């Protein structure tokens, strides 16, 4: 959950000081390595979270457990919570929230304005990645949490997210910065009461899915946070927050999160990092056969589905012409910015394809191409308030949603 420019500059400073750091490394070569108990490759598909089975699935392959869960979620809905149309058609609303660091202020503003317009729906499924993962629980719970999101994204500074660490000795650390402040902030806002409310929403048929990246496996993982909230795990609250922090842990900049898993009576650790590492946003993708779920519920293959997937992209995904200087820092900066944009396009294309196959409508909104930031500093409160106000205005107007990805 960090501004891309700051990330680039941090990497550049790291590289320019590497020679000096090497001198220190040779002097302190006796330091201990960081130790792990990684999952053997043969057990990758069978490990479960310790004392918390069935709370996650791969995003890139079909999951029988998740398929059964989404069918059960429809059966669990209280009458009238998600009313069908006059001809029995399904008309759910889903929401996907992307990564984007402090640009999450834009997404928080969209939700606030959308609520004020009176057109914001109750979401059946909400997914979140990185900064989107921090917004997602409150988006699922509804407009009564809009003020919380506004505070989260207009009152914080970089000091509330991370602490810089000395470059010397970085060889033996896991990251350039310490994200303990982010952990404290998540604990402050994602209270036990909020987690309990997610559990209640889960029992009423709603679903909250958070994306992390299993770094060893190079695969995206979807965590069913409502199932986690309702588990009997003694540390359920801390585990819930741990997954949110993991989803926002940009590798190299922030330390990875380690999840204890077990298989064949032995405990191992999995390394999880920012969900945006493999995709800036996601929905249920290949893990769920949505038409089959609706067919099983309705008892017929002739299903009318008027459901809509809404995607809030926390950032500008349009290409911009900008002459690049012949120096390492500008070239590195431009490279990373381009890769991030292409990752967002790829995710949108994939989600659009799944919507076409799944039979539901596709809508997305992103920071306008003509938005110009006043500063490149990450987590500048005034800049975040500007993005929030813009998002609020666009959410209130309701005319910024696009029905096809860029280039279509």
Tell me the residue ranges of DSSP E strands in 199-263.
207-214, 219-224, 257-263
Residue 11 has pLDDT above 70, yes or no: no
Average of per-residue pLDDT values in the chain: 90
Q: Fold for domain 4-28+39-397?
A: Cytosolic phospholipase A2 catalytic domain (3.40.1090)
Cα distance between residue 129 and residue 253, in whole Å: 17
Residue 30 has pLDDT above 50, yes or no: no
pLDDT at residue 13, rounded to an integer: 56
**Do 286 and 60 contact (CB within 8 A), yes or no?**
yes
pLDDT at residue 7, rounded to an integer: 53
Residues 282-295 pLDDT 10s:
998 889 999 999 99
Distance set, CA 272 to CA 3, 50, 98, 396 (Å):
20, 15, 18, 36
Residue 24 has pLDDT above 50, yes or no: no
pLDDT at residue 143, rounded to an integer: 98
Predicted structure pTM score: 0.90
Cα distance between residue 78 and residue 236, in whole Å: 26
Cα distance between residue 4 and residue 336, in whole Å: 8
pLDDT at residue 23, rounded to an integer: 42
Pick 2 or 384 by higher pLDDT: 384
pLDDT at residue 119, rounded to an integer: 98
């Amino acid at each position: 959950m960090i501004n891309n420019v700051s990330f680039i500059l941090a990497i550049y400073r790291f590289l320019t000081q590497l020679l000096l750091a090497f001198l220190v490394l040779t002097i302190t070569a006796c330091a201990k390595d960081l130790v792990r108990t990684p999952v053997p490759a043969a057990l990758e598909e069978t490990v479960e979270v310790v004392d918390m089975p069935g709370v996650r699935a791969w995003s890139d392959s079909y999951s029988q457990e998740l398929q059964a869960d989404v069918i059960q979620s429809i059966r669990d809905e209280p009458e009238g919570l998600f009313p069908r149309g006059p001809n029995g058609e399904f008309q759910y609303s889903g929401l996907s929230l992307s990564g984007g660091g402090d640009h999450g202020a834009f997404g928080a503003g969209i939700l606030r304005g959308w609520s004020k317009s009176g057109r914001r729906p109750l979401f059946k499924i909400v997914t979140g990645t990185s900064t989107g993962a921090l917004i997602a629980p409150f988006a699922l719970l509804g407009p009564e949490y809009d003020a919380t999101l506004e505070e989260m994204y207009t009152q914080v500074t970089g000091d509330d997210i991370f602490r810089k660490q000395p470059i010397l000795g970085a060889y033996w650390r896991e990251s350039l910065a310490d994200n303990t402040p982010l952990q404290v902030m998540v604990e402050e806002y994602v209270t036990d009461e909020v987690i309990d409310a997610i559990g209640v929403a889960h029992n009423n048929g709603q679903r909250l899915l958070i994306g992390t990246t299993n770094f060893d496996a190079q695969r995206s993982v979807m965590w069913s946070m409502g199932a986690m909230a309702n588990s009997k795990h003694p540390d359920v609250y801390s585990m819930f927050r741990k997954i949110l922090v993991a989803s926002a842990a940009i590798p190299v900049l922030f330390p990875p999160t380690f999840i204890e898993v077990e298989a064949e009576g032995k405990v191992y650790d999995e390394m999880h990092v920012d969900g945006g590492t493999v995709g800036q946003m996601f929905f249920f993708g290949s893990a769920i056969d949505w038409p089959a779920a609706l067919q099983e519920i309705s008892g017929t293959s002739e299903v009318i589905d008027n459901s809509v997937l809404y995607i809030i992209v926390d950032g500008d995904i349009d290409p911009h012409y900008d002459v690049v200087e012949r120096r390492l820092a500008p070239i590195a900066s431009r490279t990373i910015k381009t890769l991030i944009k292409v990752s967002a396009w790829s995710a949108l294309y994939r989600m659009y394809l799944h919507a076409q196959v799944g039979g539901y409508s596709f809508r997305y909104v992103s920071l306008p191409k003509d938005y110009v930031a006043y500063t490149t500093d990450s987590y500048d409160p005034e800049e975040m308030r500007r993005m929030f106000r813009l998002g609020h205005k666009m959410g209130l107007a309701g005319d910024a949603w696009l029905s096809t990805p860029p280039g279509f």
